[in-house]
């Protein structure tokens, strides 16, 4: 596994203090991206939280996920949460050390009472003493939140610094990208009121386990089902929803998102606790022992040169929007909506966009580490490019043939938009974890041939057919 060490530096530890009956929560920031470029310790917000106890519980839940490994729990985790200022809200995000759970707390405009929220993304320090202090915040205690250094400290950062060095595996970075791509295919499947949400979540097992189960809406709640019937949602490793227990007594509803259940294979799902002025969402990978990094949802977008060029254009047009409108981006860029969507997927692989299931929209953020390694070190993508470069791909009669290094010949055929291959990867996953390297190589070769035909003025037969029709 490729990994590096990520150094995160804060000018001082984040603290919670109480003075004159008012709590002061100071969250310290590291180096991050802003509209003015990279900045050390950017400041995003200063003001009051309208629901202090709820916000404290939500922050603790995000920190719980950042510090957790739901698989191989004996190993160490984690990275500090990421905070993004979007002008009208603050988003706190984290990813579990095992790469299988993504958490996000959206503190919306209704949850904030203070100055305008700034724009940018960085890490935020959540240390153990702060966690203990947050757990003691009472429901009636007013709480002032500062995200970033104090005004004076913006220009005088001479005190002792806090530096944390943590391992940053490539699979962790790939997982962050895959989580948003997979979420973009979700739809709202169920919504439970507060009482049903409490009943359902408290019925789930607390012990870790890899078992997947399905639930289906029934009346006002959810009932278990032994198979993915129409409308069912997969709940893979239900014990991984434990972080929702932090906010359960404050929740007004529980929303469940997922793809259409088509097979018995486990799939991802997202579970959103609706809170006063905020939302807490946990997105689960298809298996507790299977992180998001191997799902393959970004491979098609990474495999095209056109998507890379489109992504460069779209990146210029992003402006830290809390909600990216595809139609507006298409109009501004002059690209079709589908190419804009593919460009956003590609930008997601470097952490430059996320996806909000509650609003069914992408949002702009810039992860504060070199997530560009996602593309460079993706093994299937790298192997597919090597096969094309070696001339191992031939295309005849609509099918592709790939000759591997070991002499094995694999056949790739398109079937209803899905590439079927004769390799062991396809036999094992049946397309459930994205295309295999052979299918990717065939798609690359086809696109390369189409680009050459276009360059020489040869009409694309698909275009000719469409015009003739």
Q: Locate 62 and state its tokens.
A: 């995000």
Q: How far is Cα 73 from Cα 77, in angstroms, rounded to an integer?
A: 9
CA separation for the pair 230, 201 (Å, rounded): 22
- Name which of 222, 213, 228, 237 is nearest 285 in CA terms: 237
Q: What is the pLDDT of residue 82?
A: 93
Angle made by CA atoms 284, 290, 291, in degrees to the nearest 5: 60
Residue-level pLDDT at 176 = 77
DSSP at 229? -
Residue 172 binned pLDDT confidence (cut-offs 50, 70, 90): confident
Domain 177-292 falls in which CATH fold?
DNA Polymerase III; Chain A, domain 2 (3.10.150)
Task: State the first-to-last Cα distance of the chain, in angstroms, to the nearest integer.
Answer: 51
What whole-number distance in Å separates Cα of residue 159 and Cα of residue 245?
A: 37
For 271-298, what is the mean pLDDT?
86
Q: What is the pLDDT of residues 398-435, one digit of tens each?
A: 789 999 888 889 999 887 667 889 998 888 877 767 78
Helix (H, G, I), strand (E, B) or coil at 373: helix
42-51, 79-88, 391-400 — which is least confidently predicted? 391-400
Question: What is the average pLDDT across 171-192?
Answer: 85
Tokens 């004076």 appear where? 152
Which long-range contacts does 325-328 make (Cβ < 8 Å, 24+ apart)?
325/361, 326/362
- Whether residue 119 is predicted with pLDDT greater than 90 in this model: the reply is yes
Burial of 145: CB neighbours in 10 Å, binned 0-12, 13-18, 19+: buried
Residues 118 and 35 sit within 8 Å (Cβ to Cβ): no
CA distance 313 to 384: 26
3-state secondary structure of 428: helix
Q: What is the DSSP string of 330-371?
A: HHHHT--HHHHHHHHHHHHTTTSEEEETTTTEEEE---SS-T
Q: What is the pLDDT of residue 377?
A: 60
With a cut of 90, say whether residue 351 has pLDDT above it: no
What pTM does this model have? 0.83
26-35, 292-301, 391-400, 428-437: segment of lowest average pLDDT: 292-301
Structure tokens, 465 = 């057919």
Q: What is the pLDDT of residue 135?
A: 92
State percent of the chain over pLDDT 70. Answer: 84
Closest CA to 273 of 297, 234, 244, 295: 244
Q: Which residue has the tokens 């094995």?
A: 408
- Residue 3: its pLDDT value, please? 61
Question: 294: helix, coil or strand?
Answer: helix
Q: Read off the pLDDT of residues 265-282 as tens digits, 9 standing for 90 and up.
A: 788 999 999 999 999 999
Cβ neighbour number for residue 26 with a 10 Å cutoff: 21
Q: How confident is the model at residue 55 (pLDDT cuts 50, 70, 90)?
A: very high
In the chain, % of residues over pLDDT 90: 47
Q: Is the pLDDT of residue 180 over 90?
A: no
Q: Indicate whether 209 pLDDT > 80.
A: no
**Residue 30, pLDDT score:** 94
Q: How far apart are CA 97 and CA 118, in angstroms?
A: 29
Q: At 458, is the pLDDT very low, low, confident or very high (cuts 50, 70, 90)?
A: very low
Residue intervals in the chain for CATH 3.10.150: 177-292
């Amino acid at each position: 596994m490729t990994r590096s060490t990520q150094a995160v530096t804060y000018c001082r530890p984040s603290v919670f203090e109480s003075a004159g009956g008012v709590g002061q929560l100071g969250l310290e920031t590291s180096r991050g991206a802003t509209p003015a470029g990279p900045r050390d310790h950017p400041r995003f917000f200063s003001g009051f939280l309208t629901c202090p106890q709820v916000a404290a519980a939500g922050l603790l839940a995000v920190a719980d996920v950042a510090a957790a490994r739901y698989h191989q729990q004996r190993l160490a985790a984690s990275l500090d949460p990421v905070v993004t200022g979007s002008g009208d809200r603050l988003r706190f995000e984290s990813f579990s050390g095992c790469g299988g759970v993504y958490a996000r707390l959206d503190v919306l405009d209704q949850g904030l009472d203070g100055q305008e929220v700034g724009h940018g993304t960085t890490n935020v320090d959540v240390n153990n003493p702060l966690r203990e202090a947050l757990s003691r915040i009472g429901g009636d205690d007013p709480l002032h939140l500062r995200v970033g250094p104090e005004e004076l400290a913006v220009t005088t950062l001479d005190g002792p610094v806090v530096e944390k060095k943590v391992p940053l595996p490539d699979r962790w970075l790939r997982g962050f990208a895959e989580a948003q791509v997979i979420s973009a295919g979700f739809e709202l499947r169920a919504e439970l009121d507060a009482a049903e949400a409490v009943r359902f979540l408290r019925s789930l097992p607390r012990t870790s386990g890899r078992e997947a189960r399905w639930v289906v809406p029934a009346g006002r709640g959810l009932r278990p089902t032994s198979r993915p019937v129409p409308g069912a949602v997969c709940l893979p490793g239900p014990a991984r929803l434990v972080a929702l227990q932090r906010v359960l007594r404050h929740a007004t509803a529980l929303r469940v998102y997922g793809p259409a259940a088509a097979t018995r294979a486990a799939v991802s799902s997202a579970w959103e606790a609706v809170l006063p002025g905020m939302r807490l969402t946990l997105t689960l990978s298809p298996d507790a022992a299977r992180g998001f990094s191997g799902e393959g949802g970004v491979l098609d977008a990474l495999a095209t040169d056109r998507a890379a060029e489109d992504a460069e254009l779209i990146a210029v047009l992003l402006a830290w929007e809390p909600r990216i409108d595809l139609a507006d981006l298409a109009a501004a860029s002059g690209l079709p909506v589908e190419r804009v969507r593919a460009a956003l997927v590609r930008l997601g692989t470097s952490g430059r966009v996320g996806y909000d299931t509650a609003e069914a929209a992408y949002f702009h953020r810039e992860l504060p580490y070199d997530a560009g390694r996602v593309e460079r070190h993706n093994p299937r993508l790298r192997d597919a490019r090597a096969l094309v470069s070696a001339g191992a791909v031939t295309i005849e009669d609509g099918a592709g043939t790939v000759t591997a290094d070991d002499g094995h010949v694999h056949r790739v055929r398109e079937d209803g938009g899905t590439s079927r291959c004769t390799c062991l990867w396809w036999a094992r996953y049946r397309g459930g974890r994205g295309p295999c390297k052979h299918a990717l190589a065939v798609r690359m070769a086809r696109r390369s041939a189409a680009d050459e035909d276009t360059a020489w003025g040869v009409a694309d037969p698909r275009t000719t057919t469409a015009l003739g029709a």
